[in-house]
Amino acid sequence: MRRLMRSCQSAARTSTVAPPNVFGGGAFMTMLVFGLVIFLGLHSIRIFADSGRARSIARLGEGPWKGVYSVLSLAGFVMIVWGFGQARWAAPMIWAPPVWTRHIALLLMLFSMILLGAYGLKKSHIAVAVHHPMLWAVVVWSAAHLFANGSAADVALFGAFLAWALLDLQSCYARDRANAVVYPAPNWGATLGAVVVGVVLWGVFLAGLHLWLFGVSPLAM
């Protein structure tokens, strides 16, 4: 697993010199798209086929279902990371974002990280207010990156995640209403914790983690 993560990181953070296009940009775009179909398709089963999912779990057993789901999700994720890491160098530009869009993206990413922090602190005012902070974090993350990046690979990756997260939010809210879900009373300690976690994560990414993982500094202008 550690070797696999190192390979994914290496593919994603290929530095500012474009790698030799051995297989052609189209092949890597195809890999990216197939990875998105696999990964987001699996994560959309509850959106479009919740009853079918329940029948499959009953037929296969929860353990085997989770095993197959995890293996296929990991395969899709690897295809996304590898495909995007290579395709972005040859992908045509759909639009050229102005420099100021990067400042907006940096600010939006702060909110995304705070929402992510709230995911682990269910009693924060943030989590209680939005109910599904992880999905909202994905919405803000993908929107921020779409705002500041304009290649076909960027649009495919972040546009797909944005569409999926919005659909999943709609589905989750509908299930919450149907099941009359009751959320806990919020407390300020959890809220402060979510904000602190989010700000720290945001700072760590700015300080170099984003550059180390993806080969691009969000502070580069």
Q: Are residues 130 and 58 in the same domain?
A: no
10: pLDDT confidence band, cut at 50, 70 and 90? Answer: low
85-142: pLDDT as tens digits: 999 888 999 989 999 999 999 999 999 999 999 999 999 999 999 999 999 999 999 9
Name the domain count of the chain: 2
Confidence at residue 26, expressed as pLDDT on a 0 to 100 scale: 85
pLDDT value for 217: 86
188 and 213, same domain (yes or no):
yes
Is there a single domain that holds both residue 117 and residue 144? yes
Least confident of 8-12, 42-46, 185-189: 8-12
Q: Are residues 87 and 99 in the same domain?
A: no
**Domain shared by 42 and 121, yes or no:** no
Report, in this order, helix, strand and coil percent for the chain, each rounded to 5.
Answer: 75, 0, 25
Least confident of 6-15, 62-71, 105-114, 202-211: 6-15
Highest mean pLDDT (candidates 12-21, 61-70, 79-88, 107-116): 107-116
**Are residues 127 and 118 in contact, defined by beta-carbon separation less than 8 angstroms?**
yes
The predicted pLDDT at position 1 comes to 46
99 and 189 within one domain: yes
- Work out the burial of residue 109: count CB atoms within 10 Å of its CB; fewer than 13 is exposed, 13-18 middle, 19 or more buried: buried
Please enumerate in sequence order all residues whose Cβ is within 8 A of that of 188, keeping only pairs 6 or more positions apart, or say none: 125
Same domain for 81 and 121, yes or no, is no
Q: What is the mean pLDDT of residues 169-175?
A: 96
Residue 220: the pLDDT is 75
> Residue 1 gets which letter from DSSP?
-
CA pair distance 167, 37, nearest whole angstrom: 15
Residue 3 has pLDDT above 70, yes or no: no
| Secondary structure (DSSP) of 100-153 | HHHHHHHHHHHHHHHHHHHHT-TTSHHHHHHS-HHHHHHHHHHHHHHHH--BHH
Co-location of 14 and 79 in the same domain: yes
Q: Which domain holds residue 64?
A: 1-91
Torsion 156-163-13-38 (CA) sign? negative
Tokens of 122: 């269910």
Position 54 scores a pLDDT of 87
Does one domain contain both 111 and 7?
Answer: no
**pLDDT of residue 206 exceeding 60:** yes
| pLDDT mean over 58-74 | 92
Residues 86 and 113 in one domain: no
Looking at 72, 91, 110, the residue that finishes a domain is: 91
- Determine the average pLDDT of the residues in 157-165: 98
At 79 the pLDDT is 97
Tell me, what's the pLDDT at 20?
41
Are 216 and 151 in contact by the 8 Å Cβ rule? The answer is no
Computed over every residue of the chain, the mean pLDDT equals: 88
- Say what the pLDDT of residue 14 is: 43
Same domain membership, residue 143 and residue 52: no
Q: Among 91, 124, 159, identify where a domain stops.
A: 91
pLDDT of 66 > 70? The answer is: yes
> 151 forms bridges with which residues in the sheet?
93
Residue where a domain terminates, one of 91, 117, 134: 91
Rounded Cα distance between 125 and 143, Å, is 23
